[in-house]
Amino acid sequence: MSRLSNLLLSCLVVLGITGSLSRADEPTKPETSPLVRVAIFDFPESKSGGPANLQQFLTPENGFQCTVISSENIRSGALKNFDVVVFPGGSGGGQAKQLKPEGREAVRTFVKNGGGYVGICAGAYLASSHYDWSLNLINARVWDRSHWKRGQKNVSIQLTPAGQEVLSKTNSKIKIYYANGPLLVPDNEPDLPGYEVLATFESEVARNGAPAEAMVGTHAIIRSQFGSGRVICFSPHAETKDGPHSLIASGIYWASNAK
């Protein structure tokens, strides 16, 4: 484990960009900010409760105008009407299959041209550079890939100084729900910049044959740039009913490049 921790520490890249919200328990809207136009990818309800959970707090009162969109909408060019697209939980491979090659390319073009991408659990798998179906938006691979189905449980994450600046100035250690999200570590794609670590896992889930101590120290929340756009990935679920919603809200503000 110490070998992994040293690897992760040595690969942390500082981009020097700050976010908008300051609290990890209550999303608030900066008084002078326009509504951030957010597209939420519609993965079937049976596979993901993410869209419904997100709509509960991504409201105009909190600074957001949300629309749930389909893969067909994305392929037909609908992303041009939004500032940020959010890919929630479910299945990264399933999302990629729904999008089809044309939809995946439309997402990449949207971000490359200045759009924001927020990936939660499956959406983080999708954004990675790890799989043949990945969007290759962020220079990250999945640690201990063979034990991806390691279980579901509340865990503890530790925000880095950059994470506190972007996501929560008041809380550095946060309890959050984890459900088989990717354990992110740096990849070595030469055409992608390195990413910045915003949070690491402090506790773990090690079920279904997953080895103990493989999860602690891996990256829970990361961010980077892709072309002119911004990408932020959350392995755990901050959007659940009682989750720290402000982490997602702050991440969306940052991804939108809101002033």
| Tens place of pLDDT per residue across the chain (259 aa) | 433 444 444 343 333 333 333 334 444 445 556 899 999 999 765 566 889 999 999 999 999 999 999 999 999 999 999 999 999 989 999 999 999 999 999 999 999 999 999 999 999 999 999 899 999 999 999 998 888 889 999 999 999 999 999 998 888 999 999 999 999 999 999 999 999 999 999 999 889 888 888 999 999 999 999 999 999 999 999 999 889 999 999 999 999 986 4
Q: Which helix (H) or strand (E) holds 68?
A: strand 64-69
Q: Which domain holds residue 213?
A: 2-256
The dihedral of CA 77, 78, 81, 86: what is its sign?
Answer: negative
162 SS3 class = helix
Separation of alpha carbons 190 and 174, rounded Å = 33
Separation of alpha carbons 103 and 177, rounded Å = 29
C-alpha gyration radius of the chain: 16
> What total of structural domains would you count in the chain?
1
Find the CATH number of the domain harbouring 156: 3.40.50.880
**Helix 245-256 / helix 50-57 crossing angle, nearest 10 deg:** 80
Longest Cα–Cα distance of the chain, Å, equals 50
